[in-house]
Structure formats: structure tokens, C-alpha cells
Structure 1
Amino acid sequence: MQTLKFDGRLARAGFLAALGFALMLVVGAFAGKAKAEVDALDTAALDTKVSYDQPLIKRSESTTIHLMIEVHSPREAWPGTQDRPPVNLALVLDRSGSMEDKGKLEYAKRAAKLMVDLLDPRDRVAIVEYDDRINVLWPSAPVENAREIHRRIDGLTSRGSTNLTGGMMRGVDEVLKHFDRSELNRVVLLSDGLANQGITDPYDIAREVRGARRDGVRISSIGLGLDYDENLMQAIAENGAGNYHYVEHPSQIARIFEEELSTLVRTTARDIKLRLNGSGAITSIDVISLESDTPDNVSVGDMFAGETQRIMLKVDVAGTDAASIALGDLEMAYTDARSGKEQTTVVPLTLKTSTDAAAVKKARNEDVVVEAALFDAERTQLAAVAAYEAGDTARADGLLEELSARVETQAADMDDGRLSAKLEALTVEREQMSVAGAPAERSAYLKSSKQRLYQAKSGKRAGYQLQVGDEGLEVERLQTALTNKGFWSGPIDGKYTDDLEEAVDEFQAAEGIKQDGVAGPSTLQNLGLY
């Protein structure tokens, strides 16, 4: 965990988009309101809440607090299909020889054609295909002749090696040919292998991706199968302010493409930029939900309707005799995707103090305490996965054993289901790690575990726990798996309803799993989803 010292501005640029976005939301959260425990602001695009584990701190004493930022873009913030901004998209498809295996290329072609069909004439699309050679199969143009685009895609066959970076950057070039900041500019990269031609160094690739992002083009990455480099593909998405997807079976490609386009067209806030000027009251800040330094100025990407993010900061605050503490100023700027208007806000951040120790203790926010524990656990878990990947299985297991003991104690002390689910997840993952002997098993474990941890960086934990009220692709997969097992006959609509809870409970009874109607790690594992 990196500790960041304040000297009037934050340390250095290069931080992942998620933190900048989260801090931006702190600005929104505090604007115009001065509540100590929770500050909230409803903007045209965002509902934002900031909470503290200690909203009231002891006067005259230095202390450490956790700051949790929750942001939700309401579904109502999306203007709808007719009024959405146009899409400027490049699909970059791997056609290397390995794509012949298990019909991967055929599935990719079907998915690409589906994505074209979901666009309309106001949108632009380019199709780039690559192996060791790079070809623009369909130059960027309005989607007015889908049949011809389909015909070009159908002509793809597998061949050659993998110039991943060359194909990706050709896609960026196609988007930039008709670039318009008022539109949704995106490259979607699909690969099943390693970058073994052209630019192959991860740092050089990341530099290219950051350059595209500065130019206004977002890049999402989709890794297919067990042979691609998940660290590289995840880094591309993070540096490119896009999304990362792990596709275990080629039959899932079409649904991932559909999900990627669905979130893209529902973009509500774009080109978010943040500056934070910390006061002398803050002596250091740890970003425990992300592995990154904190910049003083960053372009942080977009947010779509229906999306929720959580970010956790650990802040050391100097003691003061004052009744309140000024933590610093935050400046945020972004473009509202509906109106195209630039939004800029500068606000102060403050905390309250008290001499009453009992009042300080009573003010403790258990919800933030639990979330902070989860974020901290995920950082340790990520270190364990890295040790396992490096071949140090003893260190990996030791880290997970120590972490499990800590989470078990926390779960008992706070009696919170989220911590119990995390403990269950750690138990399942230790088992999976211990039995993953063959290379394919190790690769599957690593990709699945990293995907869950990637999602958890912004507080999205649907990868290991689903319950009533949840929605999305993970719930669809749960419904499909239960259907295949004969426990669900309802719609595959991605909604975790009371009826689905009952079906999960029945499956748990049949499998001898604790019956609670919550699809946790053990339930998901027995369904082949973990």
C-alpha cells in the first residue's frame, strides 16, 4: 500500500481512472452541504454519497479515518435511445491461428455482426482484423449498410501470430479519423493470445493506450480463453478508461459485446477531470480500494446510467483544538453527456471534532468500517494471487490463512453478512489454489480470481455474492446455470427476485449448502460459476 504525502498538491500522474473518478464524486458529494456524517448531491447525471467511519473525531488528537465514496448514476439519467449521443466505435478482432480452436473465430464473427446490428445510421463503426498483419476490414463509416459489413466479417479466417498493439492502435486511428468529443468514442479489443509481434513490452503498450485516452478514445479489452495475458488486457482497460472482460467460453462473446455496447450508449458523465489540493490538516492518504498513486490532475473517463461505484480512502488527520477541520479543496470538471455542458465545482472538505469520547464512539459508522475491511482484505488477497502466480505457493497460502483469520474475527465482531461472504470466498479460493495443478487449471483460477478482484476495486462484488435486488450479467449467468440444473424456469432477465432467491435456496438444499437464498462462493462454485 502506498502512502501519499501532501505538499500542496498530490504526488504524481499516472493513477488509474477509478480513483480520480471517485475523488471527483467527493466534490459532488460535498457541494452545497455540510453534514458531518453523510454529504450528498444529486446532479443531472449522478447521485453521490460520502460517508466516514468516524464522522466525529476526537478534538486535539491526530487520528486516522476512512472515507467511503458511493456514486450511482440513476437509470433515469439516461436520455433514452432516441436522444443518446452517437457512437464512434472500432471493433478490433484477433484472427491469429489460435482463434481456430474451439470455433473461437466463428463466435467472434457472430458477436461482431450482432454488435453492428445494435447500432444505427447515426453511429459509426470500423472493423479492424489482425494477426501478424493488420487490415482495416471496414473503414470507419456510418452504419448504413449492415449487410455489407456482415459480408466482410464472414470472410475472416484464422492465420498468423498476434500483433495486438498494432491492431489496437489501428482501431484508435479509425476512431480518430472522425473524432467528435460530443460522441462516444470507443475501441473494443478482442484477443485470445499473447502480444508476440510489433510492440510487446507492457510498459510501451500502456503508454500507447494512455496516449489514445488523452486524445479522447477509450479502450475496452476482452480476453478469450486461457492463453491470453490477463495482466496486459486488464492494464489496457485500466489505462484506457474502458472495461475488462474475461470470457471463459467463446459462446459468451456475443453477450459480452452486447453488454459493452449497452453500457457505452448509456454514458451519462464524460471526460471527468479532477484536481485535489490537500490542506495541512491531512498528513497522508492511503487509497485502499485501488493500487495506485494519486495525481493532482487526471482525466478519469466516463460513467453510465445504472452504474454504482465505491472507493475507500484512509486519511491521516492532524489534531486540532478547533470544532471543525478543513481537509482541503477539491476541483472537478466533467461533461454532462445529455446536455454537452461542462460542469465545474470547487468546494472545501471539512470534519467535525468533539471532546466527548462517548459521542465519538457512538458516531462510528459500521457500514463504512465493514467496507474498509473488505477493501483491505482484497488488497491482501491480490498480493496472495500475485505470489501464487510467481510460484511462491507457500507465501500465497500463508497470506490467505492470515487474512482468513482476520476476516473471521471481524465477521464475528460485527455480525455482518458481507464479511461472512468474504470469509467463504477466501475458503473456496484456498481450496481452488491448492488443487489447481495442471497449467490449464492454474490459468483458469488466476483469470477468474483476478477478474473478481478487478471488479472489487470499485466496490463491485457481484463476482462472489449475489442476492435479492442485484441485477446484471452475473445474475443472468446464475439464472442460466440454475435452469440447466432444473431449479429455475423463470426468465433469463438478470434480475435477482424473490422467486430466484427461492430457487437458489432449493439448489442449496439439494447440494447440502447452507440455505440462505444468497448465491455466495460455495453456491456459485457448485454451479460452475466460481
Structure 2
Amino acid sequence: MSKIRTAALVIALSASFLPAPGGAAELKLEADLGQTVLSASKPGNVYLRLSLKSLAAGKREKRTPVNAAIVIDRSGSMQGERIAAAKEGARVALKRLSSDDTVALIAYNHEVDVLSPAAPLRNSRDKLLEAIDRLHADGTTALYDGVKEGGRQVEEYVSDNNVNRVILLSDGLANVGPSSPGELAELGRKLASKGISVSTIGLGLDYNEDLMQRLAAASDGNHVFVERPSDLAEIFDREFGDALSVSARDITIIIECRAGFTPKRILGRDGSVDGNKVTLKLNQLQADNERYVVVELEAPEGRTEGAADVADVSVTYVDLDNGGKPARAEAKPSVRFSSNAKEIEDGLNKPVMSQVTQQIATENSEQAVELRDKGDIEGARKVLEENAEYIKRSRDVYASGAAPAPTASVGALTDLENKSREAAGSLGAGDWDRTRKMMRHDQHKAKVQQAY
């Protein structure tokens, strides 16, 4: 029997950020729970959603410099149209960047070659373009060493005042050196600890999507599935557009639950739960993008009617639009306990619950992949079909009535429903490679709110 996750009892009240003493925060923090009123007598699980938005959107006078390494797979499988498209993508990336940005170009097959070491573009643009023109494909795939060298090049100019990023393109399996998803995830965590994210671009149907996705997730980077080489130039353009828009980095979120509220788990992201304390880290926040975190809490029973504090939330980060200075934002979400059933029913926060539904639906999608990997096609199909129905029921509730969810959130749920139904019909041997890669891409995008 398949078991899909659904949202049961949930809470919510918005608590906007409180800037720390000493200056105005450039990051807007909202702590929202799925329901503004809870039962005073019945226990249940509740969802706390933290939303992070940059206040710099639309008023930035100068963007933060980018410090990037472009790491390109040039193994034999990249011959022909693929290597030509990779070269064009790299050229497109350089057009997006200015003389103040720093770029390195690394190519790898069974060996790793630094075609152009990290240097400001004012001194290296011509050399980079010549190196791109010389790229050719042959040999096997030392993916781990290629990423490691990319990280080393970025480290040469790593700074709190830069957006530090490795962009990896590969079309094949890592078959030289460390090659497991766990080993690549550990490399991603090491780079993240140095303020470097890794974005991974998988080309075609032969790469290891688990390896690429886990590497990106461990460093809070992007992950993209590109089926056709002709789409690479657009993806490079969007990836560097994403890097150019980063306004905050090295974000640490600490949630300390008040008495009676117990953290149970974090949805969609890595983090730690230690007693009543939850800690998460995000590498970066774009000026025109919202990122959010969902934590499931256990609510107390037998509470006195009236208002109660839920948690103390603090966010520290590096403000790139203020010279890389450290900054802080705080929120103190609260909720009201009641014995009035109508008050409890009317307290549903539909905007919050629409995003909670996205995370639960993504968990169900991951369960379907696990079942299909074990050969249980019918079990995977049942999970996906039930997931689509769960999304539809939730969307119908959250899109209607008073204070509905925003149009964008409703649209996201519709998209998830359609993709779940499409995947349910594409689990056969001839379709699975493509379906699996698309599902991993969509799961990653939903979990980290990838901007493209």
C-alpha cells in the first residue's frame, strides 16, 4: 500500500522581521504559521514557514562582483554538437559579465586542465575567449577532480564581497576518481563552508542526476536538466543572470521553539534539530526571489485560551548590497488558542499552506522515484496519481474563498499536479531515463525555490 504525505492540522500567523539594533535590515523575514488559531484542547502537527526576501530588489545601484569558475566536461561523449553548444554557452556567460568580475575556465576528461586561471575579466577576457575556441572533446570523465579544481580557482578570489560560484556542465557519468553521490555531496558541503555554491547542468540522458542534484543541494546551488544542446546558451545566460542578482549570502537561520512547541522535522532542506532548536544554512538570496523554509512542529494540548509565543527566530547574513557587512533580522511568531471551532476553521492561512503543499508533494514525488528504482512501477504510479489528487484538492481549497493563496502559488500547484500526472504515465523502460531526470530537476527546484 502506498502512503503519500498530506498536510493535517496546521498553524499560522505572520511576524514580520525586526531589524537588529544598529541599522536597517536589507532582508525581510516573515514567520508564518498555517493557522492563526489553534485548538486549546487538541494536540496536532503545525507548520512554521519562514520567508526571506531581499529589500534591495528594484533599487540596486551597483551589483555585487561575481567570482566564478566554469567547469566543462570535455570527455568523448561531448563531441560534436554538445561541445560546440558548451562553447557557445561559455561565450554567452562572458557577455553577461563586466571587467570587475573574476572568471576561471576548467575543462576535464580523464585529466583536469585549467585553460584560463582565475583572474579579473579586465585582464583575461581575450585569453578566456581563445581558450573556449580551443576546447575539444575526448577521453573519460574525472568529474570530481574537475569540480574540486573549480573550487580551488574560486578560492583564489573568494571574498565576502563577491558571489562565489562554480558552474559545472556534464553529459556523462563520473568514471575517474570519486564518483558516488555521497562523495560529491561531501565536496559540495566543503565548498559551501567556504562560501562557494556549485550549480550543476546535466546535458542529455546519460549523466547521473542523483550525483549532480546532491552536489548542487549540498552547496545550495542550482540544478538543471538540459535535454537538447541547443538550449545550453539560454541556460548559461539564466545561470549567470541568477548569480548577478544575489544580494545576500552566508545566511544562517536559528529557530528556538517556545515551551510546548516541539520541532519534528525540516521539509525540503538539510538542517539540524537539537532539542527545541532548529538550525539551517542558505548560501545565497537573490534580489528578486523569495526563498522559504518549512518546519513541522508538534503543538501542545491543554493550553489556556489566548495568545502564546511559538518561537524566537533569528537570521544572520552577509549584506552584499552594503559592502559585505554582517546583518541580522528577527521575528517572534505567535498564535492564539481557542475552544471556538468556527474561529479555528477561519484561521486557515491559505498562502502558507499552498507552499507547505508544494513541499509535501515534492516529498511524495521523491517516494515515487524510490519505488520505481526498486522496480515497483505500479507502486510508483499509484503514489504519483494520489499525489496529483492531493495537490488538486489542496489547490481548490487554497485558491478559493477569503484571503486565497497568491496566483503564483496556485499556478505552482497546478504545474506540480500536471507534472505528477505526466510522470505517472511515463514510468516505462523507454521513458524512465528522461522522466527521472525531469523529476529530480523539479524536486530540486521546488525544495530550494530555484529562480529559473
CA contact (8 A) 1:78 1:305 kept: no
| Cα separation, 2, equivalents of 1:28 and 1:412 | 26
CA-CA distance at 1:371 after TM superposition: 3.7
| Partner residue, 1:379 | 363
TM-score (norm 2): 0.85
1:16-415 equivalence runs, <5 A: 29-31=16-18, 45-73=26-54, 76=57, 79-80=60-61, 83-101=62-80, 103-144=81-122, 145-290=124-269, 294=273, 296-319=278-301, 320-321=303-304, 323-339=306-322, 340-407=324-391, 409-410=393-394
| Partner residue, 2:10 | none
CA contact (8 A) 1:27 1:345 kept: no
TM-score (norm 1): 0.73
CA contact (8 A) 2:368 2:384 kept: yes
1:31 corresponds to which letter in structure 2?
Answer: L
CA contact (8 A) 1:88 1:186 kept: yes
| Cα separation, 1, equivalents of 2:286 and 2:432 | 34
Alpha-carbon spacing, 1:243–1:45, altered in 2? closer, same or farther (3 Å) = farther
1:433-448 equivalence runs, <5 A: 433=427, 436-438=428-430, 441-448=431-438
CA contact (8 A) 1:219 1:241 kept: yes
Q: Which of 401, 423, 427 is residue 429 of structure 1 equivalent to?
A: 423
Alpha-carbon spacing, 1:216–1:375, altered in 2? closer, same or farther (3 Å) = closer
Alpha-carbon spacing, 1:414–1:330, altered in 2? closer, same or farther (3 Å) = closer
CA-CA distance at 1:368 after TM superposition: 3.3
| Equivalent position SS for 1:301 | strand
| Cα separation, 1, equivalents of 2:315 and 2:64 | 22
2:429 corresponds to which letter in structure 1?
Answer: G
CA-CA distance at 1:291 after TM superposition: 7.0
| Cα separation, 2, equivalents of 1:421 and 1:139 | 42
CA-CA distance at 1:346 after TM superposition: 4.9
CA contact (8 A) 2:17 2:28 kept: no
Q: 157-166 or 308-317, which moves further after superposition? A: 308-317
CA-CA distance at 1:358 after TM superposition: 2.1
| Equivalent position SS for 1:300 | strand
| Cα separation, 1, equivalents of 2:389 and 2:90 | 46
| Cα RMSD (Å) | 2.9
Q: 245-254 or 354-363, which moves further after superposition? A: 354-363
User: CA deviation digits over 1:95-150, x for unaligned, max 9?
Assistant: 1000015x101111111122123222211111111111111100111112422321
| Equivalent position SS for 2:173 | coil
User: CA deviation digits over 1:258-304, x for unaligned, max 9?
Assistant: 11111111111111112222233113433344476547444421111
User: CA deviation digits over 1:390-429, x for unaligned, max 9?
Assistant: 3221221222243345445556666756566544443322
| Cα separation, 1, equivalents of 2:208 and 2:76 | 17
| Equivalent position SS for 1:146 | helix
Structure 1, unmatched stretches of 5+, are 2-25, 33-42, 461-471, 474-530
Q: 401-410 or 49-58, which moves further after superposition? A: 401-410
| Partner residue, 1:516 | none
| Equivalent position SS for 1:246 | strand
Alpha-carbon spacing, 1:215–1:365, altered in 2? closer, same or farther (3 Å) = closer
Q: 173-182 or 353-362, which moves further after superposition? A: 353-362
| Equivalent position SS for 1:90 | strand
CA-CA distance at 1:360 after TM superposition: 1.9
CA contact (8 A) 1:27 1:331 kept: no
Alpha-carbon spacing, 1:283–1:120, altered in 2? closer, same or farther (3 Å) = closer
CA contact (8 A) 2:248 2:285 kept: yes
| Partner residue, 1:40 | none
CA-CA distance at 1:27 after TM superposition: 11
CA contact (8 A) 1:27 1:332 kept: no
Alpha-carbon spacing, 1:405–1:221, altered in 2? closer, same or farther (3 Å) = closer
Alpha-carbon spacing, 1:422–1:243, altered in 2? closer, same or farther (3 Å) = closer
CA-CA distance at 1:350 after TM superposition: 2.3
2:110 corresponds to which letter in structure 1?
Answer: D
CA contact (8 A) 1:281 1:326 kept: no
Structure with greater strand percent: 2
Structure with greater contact order relative to length (CA < 8 Å, sep ≥ 6): 2
CA contact (8 A) 2:180 2:211 kept: no
| Partner residue, 2:406 | none
Q: State the identity %.
A: 26
1:178 corresponds to which letter in structure 2?
Answer: Y
Alpha-carbon spacing, 1:182–1:414, altered in 2? closer, same or farther (3 Å) = closer
Alpha-carbon spacing, 1:143–1:383, altered in 2? closer, same or farther (3 Å) = same
| Cα separation, 2, equivalents of 1:333 and 1:28 | 17
Alpha-carbon spacing, 1:79–1:405, altered in 2? closer, same or farther (3 Å) = closer
CA contact (8 A) 1:279 1:328 kept: yes
CA contact (8 A) 1:192 1:225 kept: yes
| Cα separation, 2, equivalents of 1:288 and 1:204 | 23
| Equivalent position SS for 1:158 | coil
CA contact (8 A) 1:281 1:325 kept: no
1:474-513 equivalence runs, <5 A: none
Alpha-carbon spacing, 1:407–1:260, altered in 2? closer, same or farther (3 Å) = closer
2:152 corresponds to which letter in structure 1?
Answer: D
Structure 2, unmatched stretches of 5+, are 4-12, 401-409
CA contact (8 A) 1:115 1:261 kept: yes
| Equivalent position SS for 1:152 | helix
CA contact (8 A) 2:64 2:162 kept: yes
CA-CA distance at 1:338 after TM superposition: 0.7
